[in-house]
Amino acid sequence: MQFPTVRPGIGWFTIPEMLERSCTLYKDQMALMMREKEEWVTFTYEDMYNHIKRLAKYLRDEVGLKKGDKAAVIGENSPYWVVGYFAYQWLGVTVVPVDARLKIPEIKFILEDSEATTIIAQNAFLEDLLEIKKEVQTLKHIISMEPNNFALPCYEDIFKEVKTGMSSAKVSLDDYAVILYTSGTTGVSKGVVLSHKNIMSDVDSLYQTLHYGPGDIFFSVLPLHHIYEQTCGMIVPIAGGASIAYASSLKSKIMIEEMQYVRPTIMLVVPLLLEKIVEGILTNVEKSGILLKTVFTGLKGVSKGLDSFLKGRAAKVLFKSIRTQLGMDHLHYLVSGGAALPRWVSKALEEMGFPILQGYGLSETSPVIALNPLCCPRNESAGLPVPYAEIRVHEPNSEGIGEISVKGPMVMVGYYKNEEATRSVFTDDGWFLTGDMGYLDKDGYVYITGRKKSVIVTAGGKNVYPEEVETVLLRSPYIEEVLVIGAYDSKKKHEEVHAIVYPKFEAVYEYFRERGIENPTFEDIYKLIDREIEMQCDSLAEYKRVRRFTIREEEFPKNTSMKIKRYLFEQQRTENKK
């Protein structure tokens, strides 16, 4: 089944060509906005265009940047990050977006490895960057987005000095656009090289699959250094003339205030954020008393019954007040990516009328290769291949499960200065191997079962996909986070399914308080989690069930996509086998 597109594409342009097109077509439309203190700072497309061209002229004339150079940007999401990114692109410079949450040695590595000569940064990073500059020979220039105390050039001074802009450099679709250093979950930082064709072909495919344009507002909460937000939350809206509102904080109270003000129509999220939203709604219902709980449960039942006849409209009407309180009542699309979306979360959102769609992609694919269509979503899947993407299952087993592989113009050029790593992820006939295991159903929807490197092989030769077991365990109201790995039994000489559990301590302590136990012991908590694991695993085949578990007292370390850094624990698994 081909993706049911909603309109023709806009064609493939380089990023500067796209920018010029949009800023001409939509010059009076709102492009970027963000609350600073109590005021909203806004840029029309014409404002944004002028700032980009003037900054690009300064970077060329005063800094000496030219086409083919590498230059970095670091900071929290803001219109100023966007202006810096596009000013580089305007010059034909390859952009190196740096994760604002990295430690100094990690930032230093990225700047050294990429050979970046310039970095645009927020003030919070200037002191560290000045120290890094002493050790990184290629780094010559630091520019601040804000006035600063280090006598470094800043946007405010640059825009006072440079009154007119410049024409864009001549850039081809095959030229490098960005080098993305993926923190991922592997622990090995590799530079993913994406060309203008890679990114803009993906932008064109998403333009065909989502109906948006002038008047639509994207609400941005995910970090811009990540390709998911960079492509889908920044370039996609600008290519179609939509507006982007940047959240000034990720604190729920402030986010809700700002969403109530801007009334976004499109929002890109990761599963963890959606879990928090659903849990927040359900917790508030629990605290509201038996009457409201009964009404809420009744409405869910009614909406499910009516929706088969009304094509989803019942849930939209019955739960509108909940969406309005969150500032999400105007949403047309709520797109989840970056990690697998638990089915209980997507189902709860569907029942409350949220227009939730799950997608799938990787940094190496610019990123989107699959998305659920709004007309016929199957949110237990990752969706259908988007236009231009071909997806197949590489070396499937008897159950049809194998490694998901993809071909298409959105697939990366390769890993920067790492030919061996590049060769290892492509088949002889040119298919990119994603490292994700899964299968396609009869209609072509993509299902992901887990990471290839994480598969646990039992004594009986059965494959256990940790993500499947984790999804089941997370149904427990007493489990906040869980990681399932293979624990090697040196006596039996095989792996067993092992769970590392971070309990939902608030719910755990409430459980014991209700039973008159104010200070439960570790043994009490262990027995409760043991019972929960056994109960939840009842729905799994015998060989998939958790054989032993340990309890963590703090959250798992995560990357900026809010995925647990599995490699930290997989290393222990490998070491135990030695």
CA gap 179, 253 in Å, rounded? 35
Give the β-pairing of 176-182 and 190-195: antiparallel
CA gap 510, 512 in Å, rounded? 5
Q: Strand, helix or coil at 20?
A: helix
Q: What angle do CA 271, 277, 283 make, to 5 degrees?
A: 130
Domain membership of residue 3 (yes or no) is: no
288 with 430, same domain: the answer is yes
Q: What is the pLDDT at residue 55?
A: 98
**Structure token pair of residue 285:** 């219902």
CB contact at 8 A, 104 and 406: no
Domain membership of residue 27 (yes or no) is: yes
CA gap 122, 145 in Å, rounded? 5
Q: What is the pLDDT at residue 559?
A: 79
pLDDT at 546 over 80: yes
Domain membership of residue 8 (yes or no) is: no
CB contact at 8 A, 369 and 391: yes
Q: What is the pLDDT at residue 534?
A: 96
CA gap 197, 390 in Å, rounded? 16
Question: SS3 sequence, 34-47?
Answer: EEECCEEEEEEHHH
**Structure token pair of residue 9:** 């594409």
- Rounded to 10°, the helix 271-286/343-351 angle is 60
pLDDT at 184 over 60: no
Q: What is the pLDDT at residue 294?
A: 54
Residue 403 phi, psi (nearest 5): -80, 130
Q: What is the mean pLDDT of residues 515-530?
A: 96
For position 542, which CATH number holds? 3.30.300.30
Cite the beta strand spans of 101-172 per DSSP E.
118-121, 141-144
Selected residue with higher pLDDT from 318 and 198:
198
Please state, rounded to an integer, the average pLDDT across all residues of the chain.
Answer: 91
In sequence order, which residues have a C-beta less than 8 Å from that of residue 18 and are 6 or more positions away? 200, 203, 235, 238, 239
Domain membership of residue 1 (yes or no) is: no
Is residue 548 within a helix (H) or strand (E), and if so which, with residue range? strand 548-551
Q: What is the pLDDT at residue 315?
A: 58
Domain membership of residue 52 (yes or no) is: yes
447 with 301, same domain: the answer is yes
In sequence order, which residues have a C-beta less than 8 Å from that of residue 313 and are 6 or more positions away? 307
234 with 303, same domain: the answer is no
Q: What is the pLDDT at residue 310?
A: 43
**Per-residue model confidence as pLDDT tens digits over 464-478:** 989 989 989 999 999
Q: What is the mean pLDDT of residues 371-380?
A: 95
**Structure token pair of residue 191:** 């530079």
Most confident of 180-184, 248-252, 429-433, 468-472: 429-433
21 with 122, same domain: the answer is yes
Q: What angle do CA 102, 105, 111 make, to 5 degrees?
A: 85
**Structure token pair of residue 73:** 């940007």
| 454 DSSP assignment | G
CA gap 151, 61 in Å, rounded? 19
Domain end call among 265, 287, 321: 265
Q: What is the pLDDT at residue 458?
A: 80
Longest alpha-carbon distance in the chain: 75
For position 322, which CATH number holds? 3.40.50.12780
**Per-residue model confidence as pLDDT tens digits over 215-269:** 999 999 999 999 999 999 999 999 999 999 999 998 989 999 999 999 999 999 9
Residue type, 247: A
Q: What is the pLDDT at residue 567?
A: 83
Torsion sign across C-alpha atoms 555, 557, 562, 566: negative
Q: How far is CA 447 from CA 179, 193, 305, 403, 444, in A?
A: 29, 27, 27, 11, 9
Least confident of 76-90, 279-293, 486-500: 279-293
417 with 463, same domain: the answer is no
pLDDT at 577 over 90: no
447 with 504, same domain: the answer is no
Using the structure block, give the residue that is written with the tokens 């992820």: 425
251 with 281, same domain: the answer is no
Domain membership of residue 406 (yes or no) is: yes
Domain membership of residue 189 (yes or no) is: yes
Domain membership of residue 289 (yes or no) is: yes
What is the domain extent for residue 562? 455-577
User: What global pTM score does this model have?
Assistant: 0.86
Q: What angle do CA 121, 127, 129 make, to 5 degrees?
A: 55
Using the structure block, give the residue that is written with the tokens 């200065």: 417
CB contact at 8 A, 266 and 52: no
CB contact at 8 A, 15 and 238: no
Q: Label residue 348 by pLDDT band (50, 70, 90).
A: confident
CB contact at 8 A, 43 and 32: yes
Residue 321 phi, psi (nearest 5): -65, -35
CA gap 41, 416 in Å, rounded? 37
- Exposed/middle/buried for residue 455 (C-beta within 10 Å: 0-12, 13-18, 19+): middle
Domain end call among 417, 452, 487: 452
| 224 DSSP assignment | T
pLDDT at 500 over 50: yes
| 426 DSSP assignment | B
227 with 277, same domain: the answer is no
215 with 316, same domain: the answer is no
CA gap 351, 314 in Å, rounded? 9
CB contact at 8 A, 183 and 559: yes
Q: What is the pLDDT at residue 303?
A: 54
CA gap 155, 145 in Å, rounded? 5
432 with 359, same domain: the answer is yes
CB contact at 8 A, 405 and 393: yes
Domain end call among 246, 265, 284: 265
Residue type, 59: L
**Per-residue model confidence as pLDDT tens digits over 274-327:** 988 888 887 776 666 554 445 445 545 545 544 544 445 555 666 788 899 999
CA gap 173, 201 in Å, rounded? 10
CA gap 171, 519 in Å, rounded? 66
296 with 280, same domain: the answer is yes
**Per-residue model confidence as pLDDT tens digits over 440-453:** 999 999 999 988 98
CB contact at 8 A, 434 and 403: yes
Question: Number of folded domains in the chain?
Answer: 3
**Structure token pair of residue 341:** 């979306």
**Per-residue model confidence as pLDDT tens digits over 159-173:** 999 999 999 999 999
pLDDT at 460 over 80: no
CA gap 335, 394 in Å, rounded? 27
460 with 447, same domain: the answer is no
